[in-house]
Amino acid sequence: MDVADEILVGGHWRKGGGEVIATRDPATGEVIARVHGANLEDVERAVAEGARAAADPGWRDLLPHERARYLVRIADLIAERADDLARLQTADTGKSINETRALVASAAGTFRYFAAALETMEESLTPPRGPYLTMSLHEPIGVVGAITPWNSPIASDAQKIAPALAAGNAVVLKPAEWTPLVSLALGRLVADAGLPPGLLSVLPGPGRTTGDAIVRHPGVGKVTFTGGTVTGRTIGAVAAEKIMPVSLELGGKSPTIVFPDADLDQTVAGVLFGIFSSSGQSCIAGSRVFIHADVYADVLERLVRHTERLRVGPGADPATQVAPLVTHAHRDKVAAMVDRARQEGARVRCGGRAPDGPEFDRGAYYLPTVLDGLPNDSATCQEEIFGPVLVALPFTGEDDLVAQANDTVYGLACGIWTGDHRRAWRVARRIEAGTVWINTYKQFSISTPFSGIKASGIGTEKGRDGIRSYTRQKSLYWGLTAEPLPWAGV
């Protein structure tokens, strides 16, 4: 297969100067494309052109509704090319076609939302304390570095690019090394929408070189990152050295809580969706399920029975529920963590291995797995596996539950299943997580802010605050009197 010669650098499509990246179909292991990644010179050029484009009066002086038009055009093109984008993402990431279609629709919706939000954003007049008028304004940062993960690239790309452009910035996007194809396709689409050249660059490449260069570049005024906590800490340290704002959406070990008065049919379906959709490759996956002792045996039996019925197969098959993992190396890492769980004393209630059959031999498949018999302080219950692995734990009292659910370095998400709205409110307020779902799971609205706490990150994405996070705030004072300031003695 020919090497792809073009990446988007400062508004120009050109051969990247970095190492060649081979992308593989996780269902077959076959190479589907080779991409020249970006090198340090590409990063320099992208940042310089981004700074020039952001400062150009043709972009800098646009009124909000004029910038919004670009976002709407991008949304329209995403919708027009939705099927091609979904199929490309399935081939690149292994995700099921049903999921990638939803992610593409989500990306279009993200651009539409931020276009609408941009049209209605207001600055504020603040109460004065003297003979002057005071106001608070928000202005663009300049060049934003956006680093996105491999598990849902087009949706993550949109959640960073759309609000950053809405705020008036330029964006240097670094997609994950494993899955660059749909991000490059999005770059072509954005160019086709007529966005002024230089406002978006797409630089695939390794995090240790390309990503690090973007984060450290003095011309980058903010970095937004979605990915692992270890990398997030490194980015945060660099940001502290630069005195640079940063948004970090990091890992999770999210609890799902089942009370005895829950609708168990609805609950079991929700728990399975929360962990096994995306093949468990989701930072918000409900990977620890706490089940009240009164219904523990019943709920666990139902979970195992329905897990064993889930359809494992290639992402291109619309009937697939659990698709292959993103790479064989990642599949092997998940398998090793399940083996460690066995050593810790876990009972493997189902799964715990790759599926049998010649149709699975070449792919990065792993069966959806349910474990129990481990304490909450075990490594398996504390560390993010990022695969289709669910650990069940019993609880009795509410205080004990909250203590266990919060006993983790993470604080990203939580699910609560109960028929008692008072209990749901009480427990939701006590759980340390940025998002709590009650009698549902893994549902999102672009209009609702998303954030993590503790080792799950800092900063806010989505919602109207999502635009503000890509701005600098400035205060203006307008003197309303002709009298000189008394201190001057005039």
Which tens digits make up the pLDDT trace of 275-287? 999 999 999 999 9
Quick one: pLDDT at residue 2?
43
Residues 175-184 have a mean pLDDT of: 94
- Alpha carbon distance 446, 113 (integer Å): 7
Query: How far apart, in whole angstroms, are the C-alpha atoms of residue 438 and residue 432?
Result: 15
Q: Which element (helix H / strand E) includes 442?
A: none
Q: Supply the residues annotated as catalytic.
A: 160, 249, 283, 461
Whole-angstrom distance between the N-terminal and C-terminal Cα of the chain? Answer: 80
pLDDT bin (cut points 50, 70, 90) of residue 5 is: low
| Confidence (pLDDT) at 490 | 65
Q: How confident is the model at residue 486 (pLDDT cuts 50, 70, 90)?
A: confident
Q: Mean pLDDT over residues 198-209, rounded?
A: 96
For residue 12, give the 3-state DSSP assignment: strand
Picking from 248, 66, 55, 52, the residue whose alpha carbon sits closest to that of residue 166 is: 66
- Backbone phi, then psi, for 298, in 5-degree steps? -65, -50
Banded model confidence at residue 221, pLDDT cuts 50, 70, 90: very high
390 has which bridge partners? 370
Nearest-angstrom CA–CA distance, 112 and 160: 13
User: What is the separation of C-alpha 53 from the centre of its chain, rounded to a whole number of angstroms?
Assistant: 27
Please name every residue paired with 14 in a beta bridge, in sequence order, or none if there are none: 7
In the three-class reduction of DSSP (H, G, I as helix; E, B as strand; rest coil), residue 66 is classed as helix
Closest-CA residue to 143 (of 109, 175, 167, 121): 167
Cα–Cα separations (whole angstroms), residue 341 to 290, 375, 408:
17, 11, 17
Dig out the tokens for 72 from the structure: 């709407």
